[in-house]
Structure 1
Amino acid sequence: MRAKAVTTLLLALAAALAAPGHACPVKTPSPDDSALLTAKKEFLLSEGRIYGYGGTIDHLYEKEIAPRGEHYLDYTGSTLYLNSQLHAALEELESGAFGNPHSSNPSSARTEAAVEAVRARLLAFLGADPEEYDLVFTRSGTGALRELGETFPWAKGSRFAWLTSNHNSVLGIREYARQAGAEFGAVTEEEVEAWVASSDAGSAVQPGGSGTSAGIGTSGGGSTHRDGALLPSVLRGTATQPGQRGAAPLQRQLLAASALAASEGTLHTERRQRQQEQEQAEVPGMEGSFEAGAEPAPCLFAFPAYDNFAGIMYPLRWVREVQARSDAKRRWRVLLDAAAFLPAHPLNLTETPADFVVASFYKLFGYPTGIGALVARKSDIRAARKVYWGGGSVFLATSTLDWKHFRPSGPERFEDGTLNFLSIMSLQQGLDAFEVLGGPAAIERHTSALRSWLYDQLAGLRHSNGAPLLRILGRHHWPNARSVQGATLNMQLLRPDGKLYSYRAGATALDQAGFSMRCGCTCNPGACYGLLGVTDEEVRAAADAAHGNFSDWEWVWAPRPEPAAGSADSGAGGGGGSNVVPDGGTSGSGDARRVRLPLGSLRASLGWMARFEDAWALVRFIQAHWTDRADDAATSAPAEVAASLAAAGLAVDEASAAALLQRRRRTWSAPEVHGPGWC
């Protein structure tokens, strides 16, 4: 059964991997082909040692994926599945009957054994000690986060802090924190570094004691760490709590600043009125809200290992450092969102002992969809406060009595209803494919090599006046880029005068040319708005003004200080390359102008089957389509489509390309046809 399916997959992949490396589809060479082959040869001279799984990717792609005939650059959205994965999964299902694991019969026993084998293998894949951790199957990565938020043991004095650049699905946990009366707020990278470096969570941050935020904006409650500044309320040892009756002078100053921020919507707490009363108190010192001998309040800090907007990778050392901030009053647990990290980077929970880890498996393997996981310590599973129960999560229950008996322990306690067991079984084939390619470390090397080349090429594109064609967001330019920047290239298209092209028109043109990418904020408002130079208040005001109509959601007008005489305009360097139109208004600090700021951008992301041809085609298309262009150019030309197809290994004449373009135009008239892309 299982052994036969594994053999089928391994034989299929082995046949592809044994073929001659870097083979291209046979067709009549064209000038574009020659340019591609020359560029690829140069690339392989420098990166061939780590790119392409030992020179096998071209044949592997042709056999496993090539019939799709497009340039797939949305691996952070979902990876591509392999044909042999599907065949092996189907072969396993054909090998026998697999019944509901909640029954007790041969088919259910077969299913239960298969599901538990996958569970054990995934724990091993993550380097998680099965004596320490359990893996709960969920319906998605978002479902895992919801499960955690609902069952986390919030208590008096609990706090929930999250990095500003977390996904929306992490931000939603704050609603559970709010319900429980916990304090919660967003923190910047700089603030986290200051917190873990300080000797006491309530002490002043000394100069040089913090990192840099690298453009990530503050969602709220954050301070700028100059001399004597304190950590944000949600991270401080002296944060506002029920029962607090006074504060020392410097602490009162911070409370006053926090209350002001709260009135502007940047510090989220249910106790704002109480804060404002407390800041007036003249009694020195601080009364704690914790009774003598009480258990430490459970607190939660969440951060992404890999930011899905710009691909910034955050330090995994934070896991241990934040856990070390625990004391007699608070115990800090760490939630590591690894959904965007795991597809191309190894994670070992023995080395990085996060309390909770979230995964989404279609992002790793492409198939199946609808399966996520929450990896948690066994002790935290036992301490969780489950609310809803159903199906297999409850051992005994009665209909008339308000009584039930949960399963005493184990991940099944949180797996309500019947698991998606056939899909869970199909994760085996994805894990098999990972192993054949060399595991996450091999995929990391492959994508890193391609990212480096693609960044260099895109960053070098220029208009005829020498102005850059793109602004690329993230840390690609850092000296240690390979350790802090993932294979995601988030970009803005710039006109010759430095103003922005429409990112939505850009997405439409790319769609029509056969590029699968992502536009908008990619469900990561903190990273998106921070890097694009938009404040949360400006987004909220724009949304209120839209009155529910988001069909043209793309720009926000906001006041910005006039630059000093002789200084460079924002252009590609600041403010997101904004479009500037003076309106004669003023601000409290001097003259201001109205600036048109974008509410999204374009994202290309690489993964296990990303090829040099895809990267090369993207560079050539952007260069051909936007260099020196005066308009937004929301449609592609037949010649551009033909060139894109040629890079994908499909030779067509311009008439055929024009016919294909017409079909694509009917489907991709504008991104809003398929959703506004602003999430």
Structure 2
Amino acid sequence: MTATPGSMKQRLGDLKYKVSSSQLIKTIAGEDDTQDESRLAYNARIEKMRVVEYPMLGKKTYLDHAGTTLTSKSLMSKFTREMTATIMSNPHSAGDRQNQVLDIINGTRLKVLNIFNADPEKFDVVFVANATAGIKLVLEAFTPRAEGFEYYYHRDSHTSLVGPRELAFVSQCFASDEDAEAWLRAGDDTGSNRPKLFAYPGQSNMNGRRLPLSWPSKLRSNKAKSNAYSLFDAAALITTGQLNLSDYEAAPDFVVMSFYKVFGFPDLGALIVRKPAGQLFDKRMYFGGGTTEMMTVFGKPWHARKEKALHSRLEDGTPAIRSILALSCAIDTHAKLFSGESQISKHTAWLSKCLHDRLAALKHANGAQVCHVYKDSSSTYGDPRTQGATVAFNIRNSLGAYVGSTNVGATALDHNILIRAGSLCNPGGMFNALGLKDGDIENAFANGFRCNQLGKDVYGGVAYGMVRASLGAMTTLADINVFVKFIENTYVEDRAAKDCGETFVGSQPIVKNVNSEKPASSSAGGSVSKVGDPGCVGTGKRFLRRFNFKGLFSSQRKAPL
């Protein structure tokens, strides 16, 4: 039901940053007049709040929240107050005696569990540097075994979830959800007693599609895989989404995350362990300061690990006490600024649908689409159950030729827009979306291709990168308008480019197939030109692309809006 302005004001009345009646009904959606009133009201409040809370933005547009989000002024102020009022002593100096720092650490641990509705009797939190460090810690539970372990992971995994395959006795990447589902249902086809680790992300860090949360319970219910465990990468998901671990039986065995993606600060992560899976760490070899009760150093090596709590024997060395204090401050501040994860999820789902729909609607003069959006068929923008607040795409000219993604990113930066472009640390997702094969990657590498090289992400008409715009809690509709206008003004051709038979990637002519709709068959570059023929260039809305004396494309970074 659509809320009235009066009821909306009442619901927002207890918020720190209130909006006036005129702001409640003011539409800043530009050309789009179909927005829900409640979303506009919340958006107006965020617009007003972020002037105070995020002064680093200035006139910049920040759309790389999947990399890291921004830090609020209130968080830094609260953290400063706490730091200047608290003696942060080493908790190991206190022994078993309670002190202020131990209270902060234990309290923050409970706050983390509370975010995800996780029962502290059934889950434990281990503080780590980031999600990647959490993954490495999980591997320390599997690698000491003489028989080795088996590793299975989904194609949408972040690079850090691909890396564990190098330590496994055998590994397999599932090319689709269907392949993963089939394995989860199947019996043990290896005939071994080796432990198995199944890893996947809650959300693709490439295009934001959200994967099923039901897989851990399906794995656990398969009696033929009683020695299999699940590793869930929540880093991308919790940036703007919600994770509910209240159903203990359905929860993953291991969950990793990075808090800077949620709060901007501190640079800290966590591994949440379902307690029955904690026994796997009994075979962990390394121990550090604070994780043992006693040990010998002469003669036969012997040591006794701490048994009181799982985290007490996994957090090697002095905990990151100041970062943990900062995390406590961040959790409290974030809730006050944004009214909880549910509001953030609704807000960013709405904004990402606006962004997706407007980019998908952009067309050149000849009717060709400007943006080739990489959306999974199983996801729907605006539905936070299936899609996160991320849009991944490539830009193509009126003849279907790719504009290099790193060039798009560099040009955006020149216009105070920060996005991610190039390789996105998601090799399986990228290969699938771009139609790449292993041989393509090896050949490109042999020919000098490297991740995120400016101007060198299109080879032989094939794109090896893409553009990613990811939204965060403090993103507003104004940011969407700025970014879409930038794409429209810079890359939409008012008149079609001439078919000159060749396009250029750097200084290499590429024969193109303008009739193919498949990205792998299209040529590269921004506009199309034959050497020495500047008349073949298509026009953007505000400028003509410029050429150097050889007739090749000069950098679009120098072209003014």
TM-score normalised by length of structure 1:
0.66
Query: Post-superposition shift, 1:553?
Result: 7.7
* Paired AA for residue 411 in structure 2: A
**1:227 aligned partner:** none
Are positions 1:414 and 2:314 aligned together?
A: yes
Per-residue CA distance 1:90-138 (angstroms, 9 max, x = gap): 1111112111111128998211110110001111111111111111000
SS in 2 for 1:161: strand
Give me the identity figure in percent: 29
Are positions 1:599 and 2:467 aligned together?
A: no
Query: Post-superposition shift, 1:20?
Result: 3.0
**1:336 aligned partner:** 232
Are positions 1:372 and 2:269 aligned together?
A: yes
Query: Post-superposition shift, 1:380?
Result: 2.1
Q: Which moved more, 1:422-431 or 1:608-617?
A: 422-431
Of residues 407, 415, 428 in structure 2, which corresponds to 1:505? 407
**1:275 aligned partner:** none
Query: Post-superposition shift, 1:75?
Result: 0.7
Q: Which moved more, 1:496-505 or 1:393-402?
A: 393-402
**2:189 aligned partner:** 238
2:423–2:466 Cα contact (<8 Å) kept: yes
* Paired AA for residue 88 in structure 2: F
1:306–1:338 Cα contact (<8 Å) kept: yes
Of residues 350, 363, 378 in structure 2, which corresponds to 1:449? 350
> Structure 1 runs of 4+ off > 4 angstroms?
13-16, 21-24, 41-45, 105-108, 476-481, 547-553
1:470–1:492 Cα contact (<8 Å) kept: yes
Are positions 1:474 and 2:375 aligned together?
A: yes
Per-residue CA distance 1:268-308 (angstroms, 9 max, x = gap): xxxxxxxxxxxxxxxxxxxx445xxxxxx421111100000
Flag the 1:552–1:435 CA change in 2: closer, same or farther, 3 A: closer
1:16–1:56 Cα contact (<8 Å) kept: no
1:135–1:376 Cα contact (<8 Å) kept: yes
**2:441 aligned partner:** 539
Of residues 81, 105, 112 in structure 2, which corresponds to 1:115? 105
Aligned residues: 483
Per-residue CA distance 1:120-160 (angstroms, 9 max, x = gap): 11111111111111110001111111111122365647421
User: What is the 5 A alignment of 1:164-203?
Assistant: 164-177=155-168, 182-188=169-175, 189-196=177-184, 198=185, 201=186
User: What is the 5 A alignment of 1:60-71?
Assistant: 60-69=49-58, 70-71=60-61
Of residues 152, 165, 189 in structure 2, which corresponds to 1:161? 152
Q: Quick one: distance in 1 between partners of 2:449 and 2:372?
A: 31
User: What is the 5 A alignment of 1:253-292?
Assistant: 288-289=191-192
2:421–2:467 Cα contact (<8 Å) kept: yes
Of residues 423, 430, 434 in structure 2, which corresponds to 1:528? 430
Are positions 1:391 and 2:285 aligned together?
A: no
Q: Which moved more, 1:329-338 or 1:310-319?
A: 329-338
1:16–1:59 Cα contact (<8 Å) kept: no
Flag the 1:317–1:50 CA change in 2: closer, same or farther, 3 A: farther
* Paired AA for residue 108 in structure 2: V
Flag the 1:65–1:640 CA change in 2: closer, same or farther, 3 A: farther
2:353–2:381 Cα contact (<8 Å) kept: no
Q: Quick one: distance in 2 between partners of 1:82 and 1:464?
A: 43
Query: Post-superposition shift, 1:62?
Result: 1.1
Query: Post-superposition shift, 1:596?
Result: 2.3
**1:676 aligned partner:** none
SS in 2 for 1:137: strand
Superposition CA RMSD, Å: 3.1
Flag the 1:58–1:377 CA change in 2: closer, same or farther, 3 A: same
Q: Quick one: distance in 2 between partners of 1:396 and 1:544?
A: 53
Query: Post-superposition shift, 1:466?
Result: 1.0
Of residues 133, 136, 143 in structure 1, which corresponds to 2:123? 133
Per-residue CA distance 1:222-246 (angstroms, 9 max, x = gap): xxxxxxxxxxxxxxx333xxxxxxx
**2:303 aligned partner:** 404
SS in 1 for 2:272: strand
Unaligned runs of 5+ in 2: 1-12, 498-524, 528-540, 544-554
* Paired AA for residue 50 in structure 1: R
Query: Post-superposition shift, 1:478?
Result: 5.2
Q: Quick one: distance in 1 between partners of 2:33 and 2:493?
A: 31
Query: Post-superposition shift, 1:14?
Result: 6.7
Of residues 320, 327, 347 in structure 1, which corresponds to 2:243? 347
Q: Quick one: distance in 2 between partners of 1:22 and 1:498?
A: 45
Q: Quick one: distance in 1 between partners of 2:90 and 2:148?
A: 43
Query: Post-superposition shift, 1:183?
Result: 1.8
1:393–1:416 Cα contact (<8 Å) kept: yes
1:476–1:485 Cα contact (<8 Å) kept: no
* Paired AA for residue 447 in structure 1: T
Per-residue CA distance 1:416-458 (angstroms, 9 max, x = gap): 1111111111112221133222221111000001111111111
Flag the 1:627–1:556 CA change in 2: closer, same or farther, 3 A: closer
SS in 1 for 2:29: helix
* Paired AA for residue 378 in structure 1: K
Per-residue CA distance 1:567-592 (angstroms, 9 max, x = gap): xxxxxxxxxxxxxxxxxxxxxxxxxx
Query: Post-superposition shift, 1:545?
Result: 3.8
**1:632 aligned partner:** 526
Per-residue CA distance 1:386-405 (angstroms, 9 max, x = gap): 22211112222333342222
